[in-house]
């Protein structure tokens, strides 16, 4: 039951980020076109939050198996081979999430060390990258959970 709460929390985090990016974009556009004023660093905030959202979304779609698939080979092999393909798919997903998590952690640490900041408000950028790293780390955790569950009978 604990893994379902974890998955739900990750989904809520991705949904909250989507709401935040949507609200920031809407308010920014209204302010720009109606009042001829812009939110400082709205572009940097929006793109960093969108990146975080994408990485957290990848974690959830990878776990649920709702990512884009190519079924050419899947439809051509018997069910036993499909289970093997599904397991191979899960292993590749876990390895990819691990590699991306390590890479993003190194990027966040490099950014913190260099002191990179946003243009207008001089906000440090490493916290955004750390949140993106958490998305990939969650993706690795969920991919590992996916490996631990029994292989599916049918994709979909």
Query: What pLDDT, in 10s, does the model give residues 93-127?
Result: 899 989 999 999 999 999 999 999 888 889 999 99
Residue pLDDT, tens place only, 31-41? 989 998 888 88
Q: What is the Cα–Cα distance from 89 to 27, expressed in whole angstroms?
A: 41
Instruction: For residues 1-13, give the mean pLDDT.
Output: 73
Nearest residue to 143 via CA among 54, 60, 56: 60
119 contact partners, CB below 8 Å, separation of at least 6:
41, 44
Q: What does the pLDDT read at residue 156?
A: 47
CB 58 within 8 A of CB 101: no
């Amino acid at each position: 039951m604990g893994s379902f709460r974890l998955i739900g929390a990750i989904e809520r985090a991705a949904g909250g980020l989507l709401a935040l990016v949507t609200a920031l974009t809407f308010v920014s556009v209204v302010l720009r076109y109606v009042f001829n004023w812009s939110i400082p660093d709205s572009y940097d905030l929006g793109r960093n939050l969108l990146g975080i959202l994408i990485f957290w979304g990848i974690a959830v779609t990878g776990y649920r198996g709702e990512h884009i698939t190519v079924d050419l080979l899947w439809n051509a092999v018997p069910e036993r081979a499909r289970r093997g393909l599904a397991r191979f798919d899960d292993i590749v997903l876990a390895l990819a999430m691990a590699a991306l998590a390590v890479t993003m952690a190194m990027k966040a640490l490099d950014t913190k060390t260099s002191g990179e900041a946003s243009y207008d408000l001089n906000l440090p950028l490493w916290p955004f990258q750390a949140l993106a790293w958490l998305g990939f780390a969650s993706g690795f955790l969920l991919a590992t959970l996916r490996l631990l569950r029994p292989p599916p009978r049918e994709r979909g």
